[in-house]
Structure 1
Amino acid sequence: MPALRALTTVSLLLLTSVGLEAQSNDERLRNDWAWLQRYREANAALPAPRGDEARVVFYGNSITQGWATHFPTMFPGKPYIGRGISGQTTPQMLVRFRQDVVALAPKVVVILAGTNDIAGNTGPSTLEMIQDNLASMTEIAQANGIRVVLSSVLPVFDYPWKPGLAPGPKIVALNAWMRTYAATHDAIYLDYHSAMADERQGLPASLAGDGVHPNEAGYRLMAPLAEQAIAAALAGRR
């Protein structure tokens, strides 16, 4: 009986913790839907770029947020700034684009977005809606003299938090649109998908334990591809 009571207590504590976390997330979505507060202090503390500084902002969701922790080792000495927020969709990113990208005065922005839209994180979303938001971010950046790198959505066979959506074909279609859009709108298309997809059009376990978020090996595969795209953007190539 003591063991049963202890197990029950642990279960209740876990449920309470999960419930409080969900409540906290729900409250934040109500009070700060795009999480404008997330980087406000960091942005305010960031000095203006030096005259010769090729500042780059990596902008996106949890994949970008997780990658930023590896920047010092994967991009040593590079003025690269991470502005990813876990779980975000393109409408949320569009809302915070000026304060988290434009205001930082980068030479280049590397946008990686769309997978959470396909997963339905902030409600139903069509490919056209995602495309409109990506196009709007591109237009805002270019209007402010910022070169744009549009990154392909990484392959996903199934979302662990939203199983059964079969996202593969939608991801392939969105990436095809991105490639064409970049070619006709003075942007760089960064193709992670082709380099990372397995035979299921998903991420292999060797690159992402949960099939969605890259591990260190996944990021190390992505890093030189990102560097090539950034170099092309800085050189004005397409």
Structure 2
Amino acid sequence: MQNDWAYLEKYALDNKHLLKQHNDGNRIVFIGDSITEFWERYDSMFFSQNTYINRGISSQTTSQILERFQKDVIDLQPKSVIILAGINDIAENNGPISIEEIMNNIVSMVEKSLKNNIEVLLCSVLPANNFYWNPKIQPIEKIIQLNQMIKAYSLVKQIKYVDYYTQMVDENLGLDKKYTDDGVHPNLEGYLKMKSIFEFYLK
């Protein structure tokens, strides 16, 4: 078996089971990295009560998420997809990548979704002013720039832009300490904040 770079195996079995179940046309898939994956651990009720489908994979970049987008989103035929991605590209988890390339990957995900009549909610990247696993990176400006591009693109495409950044940033342009324990990932308080922001946009 070739190296599973995008970790397609992670949800393969879950997807198989899901495809055997009746699709009532209300499926909502959340796709992204650890910030999406860990959300279910902190607030499992948010997912189970709403039959939301979590397809986050820790440490993934937009290139990896795009690689598995067909299997983990399109094939499941959801009504909507929530895309939250880009922070690990800025952290250079798979090496240097330009903001434009990150944006192109996100655009490809959106285009695939719209082509398949899937509603898209495009999320801002969360604030961070450093990465504990890659301290040499200075992410503040890149995060602001990427979010501006995501917001502008959402306006052009007339899709919802879920702005977590504005309500979760602190005076140092990092993730507000009450919402995080490590400066990057939300804690329970952070996820409850994200839930309230998300539900506002879902309406």
The answer to whether the superposition gives a TM-score over 0.5 is yes
Task: Give how far 1:204 is off.
Answer: 2.4
Looking at CA atoms only, which structure, 1 or 2, has the larger radius of gyration?
1
1:166-201 CA-to-partner distances (Å, cap 9, x unmatched) read 101110110011111001113110000000000011
Comparing 180-189 with 208-217, greater Cα deviation is found at: 180-189
Residue 83 (structure 2) aligns with = 111
Once residues 203 and 45 of structure 1 are traced to their aligned partners in structure 2, the CA distance between those partners, rounded to angstroms, is: 37
Does residue 1:202 correspond to 2:177, yes or no? no
Give the equivalent residue in structure 1 for 2:97: 125
Are the aligned partners of 1:49 and 1:55 in contact in 2 as well (CA < 8 Å)?
A: no
Instruction: Give 1:91 shift.
Output: 0.5
Letter in 2 for 1:59: I
Is 1:227 aligned to 2:192, yes or no?
no
Give the counterpart of 1:178 among 131, 145, 150: 150
Structure 2 match to 1:50: 23
- The answer on 1:96 being equivalent to 2:72 is no
% identical aligned pairs: 43
The farther-off stretch of 66-75 and 208-217 is: 66-75
Q: How much has 1:49 moved relative to structure 2?
A: 4.6
Greater relative contact order (CA < 8 Å, ≥ 6 in sequence) = 2
Q: Does the 8 A contact of 2:130 with 2:137 survive in 1?
A: yes
TM-score by length of 2: 0.95
The alignment of Structure 1 onto Structure 2 pairs a total of residues equal to: 202
Q: Which amino acid is the alignment partner of residue 99 of structure 1?
A: K
Q: Contact between 2:30 and 2:53, CA under 8 Å: does it hold in 1?
A: yes
Counterpart of 1:172 in 2: which secondary structure? Answer: helix
1:73 Cα deviation after fit: 2.4
CA contact (8 A) 1:71 1:80 kept: no
Please give the root-mean-square deviation of Cα atoms over the aligned residues, in Å. 1.6
Provide the residue aligned with 2:160 in structure 1.
Answer: 188
Of 3, 9, 12, 1:40 maps to 12
With normalisation by structure 1, the TM-score equals 0.81
1:69 Cα deviation (Å)? 2.4
Q: Which residue of 2 aligns with 1:167?
A: 139
Instruction: Detail structure 1 runs of 4+ shifted over 4 Å in the superposition.
Output: none
What secondary structure is seen at the aligned counterpart in 2 of 1:145?
coil
* Of 150-159 and 69-78, the range deviating more from structure 2: 69-78
Which residue of 149, 153, 173 corresponds with 2:125? 153
The alpha-carbon deviation at position 68 of structure 1 amounts to 1.9
Q: Which runs of 5+ in 2 are unaligned?
A: none
Shift of residue 75, structure 1, vs aligned partner: 5.0
Quick check: 67-76 or 208-217, which moved more?
67-76
Give 3-state SS (helix, strand or coil) of 1:110's partner.
strand
Distance 1:49 1:224, change over 3 A: farther
Distance 1:212 1:226 in 2: 18
